[in-house]
Amino acid sequence: MSRQSTSIPRIVIAGTHSGCGKTTTSSGIMAALRARGLVVQPFKVGPDFIDPSHHSAVCGRSSRNLDPFMMGEDSVRRSFVSACEGADIAVIEGVMGLYDGVDGGECASTAHVARILDAPVVLVADIKGMSRSVAALIKGYTEFDSRVRFAGVIMTKGGSEKHKAMTISDISVPLLGWIPRSDALSVESRHLGLKMANEDARMKDTGAFIEKHCSLDDLLIAAANTTSISTEISTPPAENKTRIGVALDEAFCFYYQDNFDHLRKKGAELIFFSPIHDSLPEADAYYFGGGYPELYAEELAKSRCKIELKRAAGSGKPIFGECGGLIWLSRSITTLDGQDYAMTGLLDADCHMEKRFVALNYVVGKMTEPLFFQTGMNFRGHEFHYSRTMPDPDVRYAFTLTRGEGVGNGKDGIQAGSVLGGYTHIYFDATHM
């Protein structure tokens, strides 16, 4: 372990609520700062996978999740300090409303992360259908918790110049931006959230629009008003010992970047491949993350990788899948239009897509089987899925949950031989528990 610190300028882009324009504003600020020649390190508060894909595409650097519930406060600092190396500024997009945390409390809220990182907050306020009430809204947010430092407010979904005059006259913090409504800034949504950056890249084009309607000079001054953060950083091993094949394509695209770092620090070499387009690479183990296998079920059913993965399982190679990966490792998936597609069949279960989400929750559990993870190890993670898995009655489970749905009845992680699949997106670094 070595001591590392950073005094990097940093700013949190928080929202009054979900849907207020927080992601568009955050990505636009990142793009505008990049256009000025700055190296921008992006972050996302919470367990979300989709918004970070847009950040990464805009900034050319991997966006990191900051979630005190899953990670613990020390790991939030550690991830932040490590990721900021070589960057000029850190931009942190919040989650939901500024003060919305786990179970209605403070933990894992945007305000919580802002305090951990001593980062000033820019409040994004949706002002559609409002006038002077905007000032009351802002006053409530900025005075609710005196421990949160505010740099100012950016108003979104504005109308006419008259509307602007009615909304800015009595506000209690600096106005850093007033953004009019624009359909050009909208990214299409579907189940689980916005489309991924590789499917809709419009976030890259928001920089000039944000530069025009926001005061980036004032934002940069506010971002520089921070203190030094210091933390212990583990030293990576000198050489790789294990090759892990990691599925990464249109169907499997939900991963925590910190999990990749954790595997590398443990001595793993990561071999990325596409189960849709590629053959299965030679590796010692395989990791299938979440994503949208239901949208590519026909292609996956015909994949040459499917047959090769069965051979790998037959030879005893460890294979781990989470959420979308669980679907892929199961026998079949039934899509919303009633079509059945054969998956790998490595787990004795069948999956059905539902019209509304089946589970959306943080997960707390314990490992009860030694495959992949140490028996008795506590873990935390998150689940969000529209599928339901029906396992055979005699399947074995590797996870016992005290919070979360999992496959059902407090169980997750179906295991068969060297194959393990569950709904929980586990945060691998469990050192805070």
SS3 content of the chain, % helix, strand, coil (to 5): 30, 30, 40
Active site residue 323: yes
Residue 433 lies in a domain: no
Question: What is the distance between the alpha carbons of residues 101 and 94, in angstroms, rounded to a whole number?
Answer: 11
Q: Which of 231, 255, 282 is the last residue of a domain?
A: 231
What are the pLDDT digits (tens) for 123-139?
999 999 999 999 999 99
Out of 253, 305, 323, 351, the active site residue is 323
Residue 236 lies in a domain: no
What are the pLDDT digits (tens) for 316-347?
999 999 999 999 999 999 999 999 999 999 99
- Mean predicted confidence (pLDDT) in 393-415: 96
Residue 261 lies in a domain: yes
pLDDT at 190 over 50: no
Predicted structure pTM score: 0.93
> Are 209 and 302 found together in one domain?
no
What are the pLDDT digits (tens) for 279-288?
999 999 999 9
Question: What is the distance between the alpha carbons of residues 138 and 118, in angstroms, rounded to a whole number?
Answer: 21
Residue 362 lies in a domain: yes
**Based on the structure, what is the number of domains in the chain?**
2
pLDDT at 248 over 50: yes
Torsion over CA: 399, 400, 404, 410 (sign): positive
What are the pLDDT digits (tens) for 78-99?
999 999 999 999 999 999 999 9
> Domain span at residue 192?
2-231
At 114 the three-state DSSP class reads helix
> Are 259 and 343 found together in one domain?
yes
> Are 44 and 192 found together in one domain?
yes
The confidence score (pLDDT) of residue 202 equals 58
> Are 204 and 316 found together in one domain?
no
> Are 76 and 215 found together in one domain?
yes
Tell me the CATH number at 110: 3.40.50.300
Torsion over CA: 381, 382, 385, 389 (sign): positive
Residue 409 CB coordination number (10 Å) = 9
Q: Which of 174, 197, 231 is the last residue of a domain?
A: 231
The confidence score (pLDDT) of residue 188 equals 54
pLDDT at 371 over 90: no
Asked if residue 164 lies in contact with residue 178, where contact means CB atoms within 8 angstroms, the answer is yes
Q: How confident is the model at residue 241 (pLDDT cuts 50, 70, 90)?
A: confident
> Are 64 and 110 found together in one domain?
yes
Q: How confident is the model at residue 432 (pLDDT cuts 50, 70, 90)?
A: very low
> Are 388 and 265 found together in one domain?
yes
